[in-house]
A and B are shown apart, each in its own frame.
Chain A
Amino acid sequence: MADKWKTALHRLARGVIAGIAPTLAFGYAIFYSIFPSATFPVSGDASFVWIFFVVLTGAIVGGIQAQDLPEAIVAEFLSIPLGLAVAVLLAWSPAFAGFYLLDPSGVPFFVVHYSVLVVALGVPVVLVGAIVGQVLREWVRKDRAPRGLAR
């Protein structure tokens, strides 16, 4: 029984580690896409290429960290709502300093409303990222194994 819990906790911890990069990448990308002129890098309009690059990079890194494909896919898909939560926190950041660019109670709805496109883009991108990450992980593992045996 204790081993079962230990295994489950271990798996959960791995899933959390695998989900950190895509969650942060997604949160940042949503925040940037909503306020491109007031975040970083500063631009009048949000750059689709930049958003795609950030989300895909986070997804691939998350995919590499996961032990197997199902774990990668679960971690990646959980990163979408978690990323939204991160974006809400980032949009709230001025309120922590006592300033209000938006009404704090309206921030979650505002972020969700204006992140629809990024979320729609994110679903296939995190899926691709999970698969590419797993392929890269297997490739590195296979690449290392023979050399390890040769020594």
Chain B
Amino acid sequence: MGYLLVLTLAVLLVLTGFAVANFVSVADAHARAGIGATVSVGFLGLAADGTLPDSGKVRAWVNVTVEGPNSRALLFDTVIYKLYAEDLPREAGIQVVRKDVQVQNGSKIGWFYPAYSDSNTSSQVVVPAQRAGTVFLVLDLTLQAMQGPFRAVQNITDFAVAHGTRASKVPWLLFILTSLWIDGVPRPTSSTASLYQTDVARIVLEQGVDYGG
């Protein structure tokens, strides 16, 4: 009967070995996936004096790059972004009615206006194994679409121009929170599955600070 024990143990050890190898690989993907996000903000249709007219457009180019950590590919799920423009008028002591967030940088306290705050779930970009994948977002801010934020950015850029600074030189802060599905790690289908089971299949990465707003 010893052979039965040896055979059973061999099968169980093989199963356990595969399970551990798979588990370590998933943990490795969680531990080593890295994010790098960049933003550049431009202005379309500026007036001759450099101010932003009502017909103008604020355009932000956001690139969110994730490095594939190991032999597992990743799939972008959601990219949550927030872009804050430094509220120069408020910092200069001018009363404004918009809801700014306070940002402390060393001993300096700054005020930033959350001009963009939204998410994107449609990219479905794949991060290949051991390579990088990038989601490119082009975010437009117009008077017609977002009156409040547009007016705020218009006020900030006009103030900058009035004080000899180009609109494109206004400082912006970027916050990115993104989630990616790990290839080969199925999501739970049961409605009673614990939340951690979804967290195993999904990597969440962030860059920057979420100041709210």
Measured CB to CB, the residues of A under 8 A from B are 17, 20-21, 24-25, 27-28, 31-32, 35-40, 42-45, 54, 57-58, 61, 64-65, 90-91, 93-94, 97-101, 114, 137, 140
Contacts and interface: CB of A to CB of B under 8 A. Distances in A.
A42 B22 contact: yes
Given A65-B5, A97-B28, A37 B187 contact: yes
Contact of A38 (B1, B16, B23): B23
Contact of A28 (B1, B15, B31): B15
Given A35-B200, A94-B31, 13 more contacts: A21-B8, A31-B16, A37-B186, A37-B197, A37-B201, A38-B23, A44-B190, A54-B15, A90-B16, A90-B19, A91-B23, A101-B23, A101-B200
Interface of B is mostly: helix
Contacts of B32: 99
Interface string B103-133: 0000000000000000000000000000000
Contact of B12 (A25, A36, A99, A101): A25
B12 A64 contact: no
Interface in B43-101: none
B1 A20 contact: no
5 contacts: A21-B5, A37-B186, A37-B201, A54-B12, A99-B32
Most B-side CB within 10 Å, residue of A17, A38, A114: A38
Nearest to B17: A40
A42 B186 contact: yes
